[in-house]
Amino acid sequence: MSHLKLNDFCFPVVERQVAVDDVQSPVVDWENPNTYIPARNHKAIVREDTSELISIVKDSYNVIPNEVLINKLLHFLATSSEPFRIDPTHSFVQDNRMRLQITFPDLSLQDSESEIPLSLFLHNSYDMSEGVRFYFGAIRAICSNGMVFGEILGKYYSKHTCGFELEDFASRLEEAKSYFPAIQNRIDQLQMLPATEQLVEQVSDRISKRLADQVLETQQIRQLSQWQLLNRVTHYISHDVDKPTRARHQQSVSRIFGL
Contact by Cβ (8 Å): 84, 49:
no
Confidence of residue 142 (pLDDT cuts 50, 70, 90): confident
| Mean pLDDT, residues 165-169 | 68
Contact by Cβ (8 Å): 244, 252:
no
Helix (H) or strand (E) run with residue 173 in it: helix 167-178
The pair phi, psi for residue 49, each rounded to 5°, is -75, -20
Contact by Cβ (8 Å): 241, 249:
yes
pLDDT at 90 (0 to 100): 94
pLDDT at 138 (0 to 100): 93
What residues contact residue 136 under an 8 Å CB cut-off, 6+ apart? 118, 119, 120, 121, 148, 149, 153, 155, 172, 173, 176
| Mean pLDDT, residues 144-155 | 85
The pair phi, psi for residue 162, each rounded to 5°, is -110, 170
| Mean pLDDT, residues 24-37 | 63
Per-residue pLDDT tens over the stretch 196-222: 889 989 998 988 888 888 776 766 777
Confidence of residue 230 (pLDDT cuts 50, 70, 90): very high
- The residue ranking higher by pLDDT, 211 or 9, is 9
106/119 Cα distance (integer angstroms):
11
Confidence of residue 103 (pLDDT cuts 50, 70, 90): very high
Considering 32-36, 71-75, 151-155, the range whose residues carry the highest mean pLDDT is 71-75
| Mean pLDDT, residues 33-48 | 83
- The number of CA neighbours under 13 Å toward the Cβ of 5 is 3
- The count of other CB atoms within 10 Å of the CB of residue 17 is 9
Would the pLDDT of 1 be above 60?
Answer: no
The region of weakest confidence among 167-171, 188-192, 197-201 is 167-171
Report the largest interatomic distance among the alpha carbons of the chain, rounded to a whole angstrom. Answer: 72
pLDDT at 209 (0 to 100): 87
| Mean pLDDT, residues 55-81 | 90
| Mean pLDDT, residues 91-108 | 96
Confidence of residue 46 (pLDDT cuts 50, 70, 90): very high
Contact by Cβ (8 Å): 190, 227:
yes
| Mean pLDDT, residues 3-19 | 90
Task: Report the percentage of the chain scoring pLDDT > 90.
Answer: 53
Would the pLDDT of 249 be above 60?
Answer: yes
Per-residue pLDDT tens over the stretch 170-185: 888 888 999 999 999 9
